[in-house]
Structure 1
Amino acid sequence: MKRIKIVYYMSLLALSSVLCAKQSQPAFHRAHKVDFFTSMEWDTKKNRFFKEKYFLANTAPAKKMLEMYHILKGLYDKNDFSQKAVQGERVIPKIIHQVWVGPNTPPAIFKESQKSIQKYHPDWQYRLWTDADIPEFKLQNQKFYDLSNNYGEKADILRYEILYRYGGVYLDADFVCLQPLDILSQYDVWVSIQPLDCGGEIANGVIGTLPGHPILKDCIDTIEDDWNAFHDKKNNLSVFDVAGPRHFQRSFMKFVKTGTENFIAFPRSFFYPLDHKDRLLGLNNHNNKNGQKIKAKIKLECFAIHYWAGSWWGNKQNEEMLGMSQVTVASKGTSPVTVVSKGTSPVTVVSKGTSPVTVVSKGMSTVTVASKETSTVTVASKEPKQPLIKI
């Protein structure tokens, strides 16, 4: 009996060790191959408009974007770690950087971001960079850092110099890790691509790199040129070109030449499972229903999820400028109602009376019209592929 008990407890111990080992492993198996365009949700109905606008239109920018995607797909297929291990001579340092500058309080999701980093990277260093670190850092682009009146732009300028000097991984404050990033340390540089509904560009919100990499050096050296070319105090969208994602994308693509480079751009499902239009869903993820919707969007390959906190454009004025604010119109009487949408705002018109309702969409708004009485509803779209839902 004693011998049986010993064997029994040894079996339990072995089983416990196996379970603990499994729990410490990332959920994503190396053999799980993910198709580039499937990850981008290229052929889905929801992305038809964006695909035709940004990639298939008969314009020079669209043709350039489509060409870039085929180049990135080739690089991804060659260097995807599910197919073979990347043989780099050096590895990305195990340090995660985050930046928070300016007087505003970080978004609520920031605490979850920090917790997830600690949970999945217990043996990594962590560094939060704030205003207090700037005087001693001696930025190469200190002049433009000081001139900028946008804290998102300041954070862009700062992240490139941090990564160039120290290497490691940069994560925006609204990223929550879902599994360890260790397996990605074998690349020289790794990045991710954003969803199609915000242009499908290479993101600068998550970057892994060796210290001293030429891509980061080019990002730093060309900020002055892009500042002079794009900076406009009247247009907050210029931050994307001055030091933001488009600036980073231009530098990244300069170094994708032979296809032998030891870096990779992961398609959206690895780091951007939420579409840009889902930002309200993400920011209200405490709601159980929203939480279930978010969970349904996360694929096996997802390393981290971006919640689109967008702190630098979080006020109402900037949301309207970017066309992201949600518009709801409820008509109960007989007064004429006109809604003009210039961006990507979801527009919902609920008419309970007899008032004529006109919706003029100049951008990519999804317009939902629910008429319960005899009201006349007119939707005039100046974009030929503007989505329309009739109830």
Structure 2
Amino acid sequence: MIPKIIHYCWFGGGEKSAFIKKCIRTWEKYLPEFEIKCWSEENFDINTNEFVKQAYIQKKWAFVTDYARFYALYKDGGIYMDTDVRILKPLKKDWLTYDFFSSIEFLPQMYESHKYLLDSSFKPINKEKRMHGLGILSAFMAAIPNHKFVEDCLEMYNAIKPEKVNDEVDFNNFVIGSYITKCAEKYGFIYKDSEQLLKENMLILPKNVLAGNELFIDKDSYLIHLCNGSWTDNRTVFESLLYNLKNKYPAFENVITLIQKVYNKIKR
């Protein structure tokens, strides 16, 4: 049984925005029986490996979190959520009987440009290459303590030796989704948007159930990852304006999100 603990990470010591506080209130509303635990510099060793150490030095908090989420799940078990995940209704109780569960994350445009890497069974043609555009949703994952897949993800990060260029690591080369989904292949994961029951009692739900972004939300969705991108440092001026407005005025979030969707379509 997956423990009733919600983990989230907050590195850097900054003030949480009104938007993030609003998201966390939905956790309290729909999952009142869960303990909520915040991971930060106070209870996590930022020198645990070279990947985390360099990410912290460069103030790349999201990449510190990429490792810390697996540390929390492996140590304590429970649910990990990004701070921009909004719960829409109580989660199904039987999901907690699995040893791990998450959802498909689907990025249509990226998937279209990478699907040639898959065979007719939705498996990679070249086992060495990482697939992009479809994978396991890293913004929401749940596991029992000491789960083997979570351990594999920790070991994968421990093995990374980030190379510096001009005294900095380019962390954009380490997008979490493609890395952890590669780890899931040995458990039977295929690159298809469908419910999948994998080895080690792992459940992967379709993309709309734990919606990875607002494109796929419907009546069957239990949560939405609002993709706030507080870690992003390469926005356009307009994108930065929308981001700041969403955080400062969460009451207008729906309008701002609609503007973002229209803008993203034009940008493509």
Q: Normalising by the residue count of structure 1, what TM-score does the alignment of the two structures yield?
A: 0.48
1:90-139 deviations in Å (ceiling 9; x for gaps): x10111111111143334322122211111122221111122112xxx57
* Match status 1:270 vs 2:204: no
Contact 2:103–2:210 (8 Å) recurs in 1: yes
Partner AA of 1:156 in structure 2: D
In the TM superposition, residue 236 of structure 1 has moved relative to its aligned partner by 4.0
Contact 1:95–1:169 (8 Å) recurs in 2: yes
Contact 1:180–1:303 (8 Å) recurs in 2: yes
The aligned counterpart of 2:101 is 190
Partner AA of 1:252 in structure 2: A
Q: Secondary structure at the match of 2:66?
A: helix
For CA contacts below 8 A with separation 6 or more, give which structure has more relative contact order.
Answer: 2
The aligned counterpart of 2:136 is 202
The aligned counterpart of 1:319 is 235
Q: Secondary structure at the match of 1:132?
A: coil
Please, which runs of 5 or more residues in structure 1 have no aligned partner?
Answer: 1-90, 279-296, 327-344, 349-364, 369-386
Please, which runs of 5 or more residues in structure 2 have no aligned partner?
Answer: 111-132, 190-196, 242-259
In the TM superposition, residue 298 of structure 1 has moved relative to its aligned partner by 3.4
Output the CA distance in 2 between the equivalents of 1:162 and 1:153: 15
Output the CA distance in 1 between the equivalents of 2:262 and 2:22: 31
Q: Which has the larger radius of gyration?
A: 1
Output the CA distance in 2 between the equivalents of 1:110 and 1:252: 30
Partner AA of 2:38 in structure 1: L
TM alignment of 1:66-85, pairs within 5 A? none
1:275-320 deviations in Å (ceiling 9; x for gaps): 4xx7xxxxxxxxxxxxxxxxxx63222111111111110x4xx125
Contact 1:141–1:220 (8 Å) recurs in 2: no
Output the CA distance in 2 between the equivalents of 1:259 and 1:347: 37
TM alignment of 1:1-391, pairs within 5 A? 91-134=1-44, 138=45, 141-148=48-55, 149=58, 150-181=60-91, 182-197=93-108, 199-228=133-162, 233=168, 235-240=170-175, 244-256=176-188, 259=198, 261-272=200-211, 274-275=213-214, 298-313=217-232, 315=233, 318-320=234-236, 366-367=265-266
Partner AA of 1:147 in structure 2: Q
Output the CA distance in 2 between the equivalents of 1:347 and 1:263: 36
Q: Secondary structure at the match of 1:131?
A: coil
Partner AA of 1:141 in structure 2: T
Q: Secondary structure at the match of 1:269?
A: coil
1:259-288 deviations in Å (ceiling 9; x for gaps): 55421222221122634xx7xxxxxxxxxx
Contact 2:54–2:169 (8 Å) recurs in 1: no
Output the CA distance in 1 between the equivalents of 2:159 and 2:75: 21
1:133-183 deviations in Å (ceiling 9; x for gaps): 12xxx5783443222121100011111111001000001000011122233
Q: Normalising by the residue count of structure 2, what TM-score does the alignment of the two structures yield?
A: 0.69
Contact 1:174–1:309 (8 Å) recurs in 2: yes
Output the CA distance in 1 between the equivalents of 2:262 and 2:30: 40
Output the CA distance in 2 between the equivalents of 1:300 and 1:176: 15
Contact 2:148–2:200 (8 Å) recurs in 1: no
Contact 1:113–1:176 (8 Å) recurs in 2: yes
Q: Secondary structure at the match of 1:268?
A: coil
Partner AA of 1:309 in structure 2: N
Contact 2:11–2:61 (8 Å) recurs in 1: yes
Distance 1:367 1:140, change over 3 A: closer
1:46-73 deviations in Å (ceiling 9; x for gaps): xxxxxxxxxxxxxxxxxxxxxxxxxxxx
Q: Secondary structure at the match of 2:142?
A: strand
RMSD across aligned positions (CA): 3.3
Contact 1:141–1:157 (8 Å) recurs in 2: no
Partner AA of 1:237 in structure 2: N
Matched positions, count = 215
Output the CA distance in 2 between the equivalents of 1:346 and 1:174: 17
In the TM superposition, residue 225 of structure 1 has moved relative to its aligned partner by 3.1
Q: Secondary structure at the match of 1:169?
A: strand
Q: Secondary structure at the match of 2:105?
A: coil
